[in-house]
Amino acid sequence: MESQTDPENKPLILWFNGGPGCSSILGLLSELGPFRPNPDGETLYEYVFSWNKMANVLFIDSPRKVGFSYQDEMANNDDQWNDEKTATDALNALLDFFTIFPELTSKEFYIAGESYGGVYVPLLTSYLLQYMQEHSYALNFKGIMVGNGYVSQKLNIRSLADFLYFHGLFGRQEWRELSSKCCQNATDGLPQFQCEYDRFVEFGDDGDVRPKNVTDDNGCGDLVVKLSWHWIEHTMYATL
Give pLDDT tens digits for 199-216. Answer: 777 766 555 667 776 665
Residue 39, burial from CB neighbour count under 10 angstroms (0-12, 13-18, 19+): exposed
Q: For position 211, what pLDDT does the model report?
A: 73
pTM of the model: 0.73
User: If we measure between CA atoms, which residue out of 82, 80, 115, 109 comes closest to residue 94?
Assistant: 109
Domain ranges of the chain: 7-147, 154-239
In terms of pLDDT, which residue wins out, 88 or 182? 88
Please identify, in words, the CATH class of the domain defined by 7-147. alpha beta
Q: Alpha-carbon distance 98 to 111, whole Å? A: 14
Taking alpha carbons only, the member of 171, 186, 170 closest to residue 218 is 186
Average pLDDT, the chain: 82
Cβ atoms of 211 and 199 closer than 8 Å: no
Instruction: Give per-residue pLDDT as tens, 178-203.
Output: 777 777 654 555 544 467 677 777 76
